[in-house]
Chains A and B, each alone.
Chain A
Amino acid sequence: MKVAEVVEKLGLEVFSGSKGLDKEIRGGYTSDLLSDVMGHADSGNIWVTLQTHKNVIAIASLKELSAIVLVKNYKPEEDTLAQSNEEGIPILGTSKETFEISGLLYNLIKG
């Protein structure tokens, strides 16, 4: 499933990195510890987090993640937005909490 489809089906906001909306999503990972994501997320994952620091993009790029979903109306910081646009890795947003959006994503991707 492409990032754009997930955006549409779950009504996510697209903050940045729209060049990457046609990336393919293969699974997901939910964590707020960037060290954990660096060690355990797989390429093609959509990553659910509340961290907004620009290191998020560096790690998403390193791990070849498809997109990032910020929960609970968190907004990316300005330098994070810039990095996201540069790398073409979409940052998406939702008002939902982590448990709920992870469940919805699971149903959509794996269900």
Chain B
Amino acid sequence: MNLFKADMHIHTVLSPCGDLSMSPINIVDYASSIGLKVIGITDHNSTLHGPVTRKLAEKRGIMVIFGAEVTTREEVHCLCLFETENQRSLFQSFIERNFSGIKNNTELFGHQVVVNENEEIIDEIEPLLISALNVNIDEVEKQVHQLGGLFIPAHIDRPKYSLISQLGFIPKDLNFDSLEISKNTTKEKALKDFSYIKNLRFIKSSDAHNIDQIGTAGTQLLMENISWNEFKMAILGIEGREVIIV
């Protein structure tokens, strides 16, 4: 088994709050320069920058996990992670079917652009990606698992847009694969804070909106090799694979 540096929660320029420097090529270049081997591309309510980032990352030996940071109807942020292009595109359709109808105001929130591998803008997204989808947290969880993805409530220790801020405590029958903690807490503290839930597993991610935030959460994956199956086992903490939070 080996340790692989990972960051499962990275925004791109597509997220209205994502810095202009967060183009797929810049993210891949920077991830490569700091030795990351697994990165999750998780924009607010969009998976659209996954494929171009994966294409660019393959040449560097970095695995790109497709995904999105979904805002549920309760305004809980949840990471939804996928392996294949088919899963990604089906989940993208699910998101688009459930947009609230609120449009982006670029002056207030910034631009939501899709770029290609040469950083040329190829699309601008009209629905405001940071607004809540019209589906509840249980429906999102079911959809992710039906497609074979991983469902991970994001930055649960944060005082806004988290499972804890919105719903008060972790519902004991919520079918999550792991829980993400932010850089503001430690695994030890989280284990104590949420000790009312059995078999807790955590990931810690950067939630990077700027280039130099990428990889700052110090998470590593103990796996045989870099593949989705190994990644999934690490997230679930089975067969000796695990997520190591440094």
A residues with CB within 8 A of B: 32-35, 37-38, 51-55, 58-59, 77
Q: Compute how far the CA of A59 lies from the CA of B171 in the bound complex, rounded to whole angstroms.
A: 11
Contact A58 B169 (CB under 8 A): yes
The 7 closest A-B pairs by CB, nearest first: A34-B168, A55-B167, A38-B168, A35-B165, A34-B167, A35-B168, A59-B168
Q: How many A-B residue pairs have CB under 8 A?
A: 36
Q: Compute how far the CA of A77 lies from the CA of B168 in the bound complex, rounded to whole angstroms.
A: 17
Task: For B139, give the chain A residue with the smallest CB separation.
Answer: A77
Contact B171 A35 (CB under 8 A): no
Chain B residues with Cβ below 8 Å from A51 are 74, 166-167
Confirm or deny: B226 has a beta carbon within 8 angstroms of a beta carbon on chain A. no
Confirm or deny: B179 has a beta carbon within 8 angstroms of a beta carbon on chain A. no
Chain B residues with Cβ below 8 Å from A54 are 171
Chain A residues with Cβ below 8 Å from B171 are 53-55
Q: Compute how far the CA of A58 lies from the CA of B136 in the bound complex, rounded to whole angstroms.
A: 18
Chain A residues with Cβ below 8 Å from B6 are none
Confirm or deny: B20 has a beta carbon within 8 angstroms of a beta carbon on chain A. no
Q: Smallest distance from the beta carbon of B21 to chain A beta carbons, Å?
A: 33
Looking at B159, B167, B169, which has the most chain A CB atoms within 10 Å of its CB? B167
Chain B residues with Cβ below 8 Å from A32 are 166
5 additional A-B pairs beyond A35-B167, A55-B168, A77-B136, beta carbons within 8 Å, are: A34-B167, A53-B74, A55-B167, A55-B169, A59-B168
How many residues belonging to B are interface residues under a CB distance threshold of 8 Å? 12
Chain B residues with Cβ below 8 Å from A53 are 74, 136-137, 167, 171
Q: Smallest distance from the beta carbon of B223 to chain A beta carbons, Å?
A: 35
- From 159 to 200 in chain B, residues with beta carbon under 8 angstroms from any chain A beta carbon are 159, 164-169, 171
Task: Decide: A33 near B169, CB < 8 A? Known: A53-B74, A53-B136.
Answer: no
Chain B residues with Cβ below 8 Å from A37 are 168
A35, A58, A77: the one within 8 Å of B166 (CB): A35
Chain A residues with Cβ below 8 Å from B74 are 51, 53
Contact B166 A33 (CB under 8 A): yes
Q: Smallest distance from the beta carbon of B141 to chain A beta carbons, Å?
A: 12
Q: Compute how far the CA of A29 lies from the CA of B168 in the bound complex, rounded to whole angstroms.
A: 15
Q: Smallest distance from the beta carbon of B135 to chain A beta carbons, Å?
A: 12
Q: 13 A-B residue contacts at CB 8 Å?
A: A34-B165, A34-B167, A35-B164, A35-B166, A35-B168, A38-B168, A51-B74, A51-B167, A53-B136, A53-B137, A55-B167, A59-B168, A77-B136
Q: Smallest distance from the beta carbon of B197 to chain A beta carbons, Å?
A: 13
Contact A52 B136 (CB under 8 A): yes
Chain A residues with Cβ below 8 Å from B137 are 53
Q: Compute how far the CA of A52 lies from the CA of B74 in the bound complex, rounded to whole angstroms.
A: 8
Q: Compute how far the CA of A38 lies from the CA of B167 in the bound complex, rounded to whole angstroms.
A: 10
Q: Compute how far the CA of A77 lies from the CA of B159 in the bound complex, rounded to whole angstroms.
A: 25
Chain B residues with Cβ below 8 Å from A55 are 167-169, 171
Chain A residues with Cβ below 8 Å from B159 are 35
A33, A52, A59, A77: the one within 8 Å of B165 (CB): A33
